[in-house]
Amino acid sequence: MVYTYSVSELCTRIQERITGDVRLHDVWACGELSNVVNHSSGHRYFTLKDSEAQISCVMFKRHAEELDFVLRNGMNVRVFGDVGFYKGRGNVQLQVRSISPDTGIGRSAMELESLRRRLTAEGLFSPERKRPLPRYPERIGIVTSMDGAALRDVIRSLGRYPARIILSPATVQGDAAAQSMISALRALRGRADVIILCRGGGSAEDLSPFNDVHLARAIAESDAPVISAVGHEVDVTVADLVADARASTPTAAAKLAVPDVREIEQLLRNMEDQMTWAIDSHLERIRSRLDYLSRGIEARKMYAILEMRKLRLRDISRRLLDAERSIVDSRARRLEIARARLDSASPLAVLSRGYTMVVGSAGVVCHAVDLAVGEEIRLVFSDGEACCNVNKIEIKPR
């Protein structure tokens, strides 16, 4: 009978094998630092890598307190410690007891710095090249993964602003990510007033496609201003430097792309108040002028002229009041139309009316012929998602 291990038993056996191998104790290794985390507990977590491999490392507080320099991404170092196995996550890691700087900076850091210098010389980072964002964009392009939280954050933050949202899906991680994003940007040419290029946080390796030189040039060549929102606020990529504007998060990018709807509504209310004040002030000036004239004319003409002026004043007052009501009504109708457009343009409002969005392995599915029997798809509703398998496909004859 074949013995079946539990996960705990299997991890314990791996741990015993690693810790029992004397060749994995008191080892020296050299490489480039990446994903450095100086934890509040005092521990140091980082990745040691070269051109072909990488290994997770931890330096516990008692050893980290002896460091006389700050660990930074891209630094070349020599480390000393033991290879261990963390059962809680099933990870092999190097438990570092000593670390010292090596000569020079890491290969990745050197390549990135060389790229930045080259693009700076080309003028791609120049503030004069960057374009202003449109104040009231009608078409907003979004380049990101269909499966990421970044897309949901952007759509939620755009809220009720009445713009047409154009999704251009792209892979944002891995070897093919840079070319995927370039294609997605080019697919929006002539279709968007502003473009948001975004993804959530990740390691330095996860964000490396955003340091691609071809992607940088594609951003610069875009016919619409590009807002870059890559990673967290502390992460700065080449795409951030080339983009016309940079936001710390996808949510911040959405707020940067459109004006605040509440501010627009307040502006309309302020304009209405100003118009009412202007009409009242004009009427008061007319009354003052009539009073002055009535005191300066002869008594026998005063009543006739006064009656004529009263009639004219009543007519002017009526016309001004009619104009005021007409202006207020017009503004109210425009405000109502704007609100209706805001509600109707929201993708969430469309889903809330009973519609769903079908997402397959290649993105949003628009036609039945794009599906395959047995394919796993997701149905996106206004309040959640459902995963389904295609059992049968019927194509309507044209």
> Mind listing the pLDDT tens digit for each residue in 94-127?
999 888 887 655 556 666 666 677 777 777 778 8
Q: What percent of the chain has pLDDT over 90?
A: 15
- Residue 309 is predicted with a pLDDT of 81
Q: By the 8 A CB rule, do 174 and 202 touch? A: no
Count the neighbouring beta carbons within 10 Å of the beta carbon of residue 208: 20
Model confidence at 292, in pLDDT bands (50, 70, 90)? Answer: confident
Q: Which two tokens stand for residue 194?
A: 């502003």
What average pLDDT does the chain have? 84
- Residue 107 is predicted with a pLDDT of 59
Beta strands 54-59 and 75-86 are unpaired
> 372 — alpha (psi -120 to 50), left (phi > 0) or beta?
beta
CA angle, 33 then 39 then 43, to 5° = 80
Model confidence at 186, in pLDDT bands (50, 70, 90)? Answer: very high
- Residue 109 is predicted with a pLDDT of 61
> Mind listing the pLDDT tens digit for each residue in 204-231?
677 778 888 888 889 888 999 999 988 7
**Arch. (CATH architecture) of 7-105:** Beta Barrel (2.40)
In angstroms, rounded to a whole number, what is the distance separating the alpha carbons of residues 283 and 38?
A: 70
Model confidence at 167, in pLDDT bands (50, 70, 90)? Answer: very high
Helix or strand (DSSP H, E) at 37? strand 27-38
Entry field: residues in the chain: 398
- Is the pLDDT at 178 greater than 80? The verdict is yes
> Mind listing the pLDDT tens digit for each residue in 303-362?
777 788 888 888 888 888 888 888 888 888 888 888 777 777 666 677 777 778 888 888
> Mind listing the pLDDT tens digit for each residue in 221-258?
899 999 998 876 666 788 888 889 988 889 889 998 98
**Arch. (CATH architecture) of 113-257:** 3-Layer(aba) Sandwich (3.40)
Could you please report the per-residue DSSP string of 101-141? Answer: EEEEE-HHHHHHHHHHHHHHHHTTT-GGGPPPPPSS-SEEE
User: Would the pTM count as exceeding 0.75?
Assistant: no
Q: By the 8 A CB rule, do 153 and 251 touch? A: yes
> Mind listing the pLDDT tens digit for each residue in 343-356?
776 666 777 777 78
If you average pLDDT over residues 73-91, what whole number do you get? 87
- Residue 374 is predicted with a pLDDT of 84
Domain ranges of the chain: 7-105, 113-257, 261-343, 356-389
In angstroms, rounded to a whole number, what is the distance separating the alpha carbons of residues 198 and 60?
A: 35
Beta bridge partners of 280: none
- Residue 300 is predicted with a pLDDT of 59
- Is the pLDDT at 14 greater than 90? The verdict is no
Q: What percent of the chain has pLDDT over 70?
A: 90
Sign of dihedral through CA atoms 258, 261, 266, 267? positive
- Residue 294 is predicted with a pLDDT of 67
What CA–CA distances, in Å, run from 106 to 76, 119, 121, 290?
A: 5, 20, 23, 86
Q: Which of 193, 155, 197 is nearest to 180 (CA)?
A: 197
> 233 — alpha (psi -120 to 50), left (phi > 0) or beta?
alpha
- Residue 110 is predicted with a pLDDT of 61
Do the two domains 7-105 and 113-257 of this chain adopt the same fold? no
Question: 108 phi and psi, to 5 degrees?
Answer: -65, -40
Q: Which two tokens stand for residue 82?
A: 């033991």
Q: By the 8 A CB rule, do 227 and 244 touch? A: yes
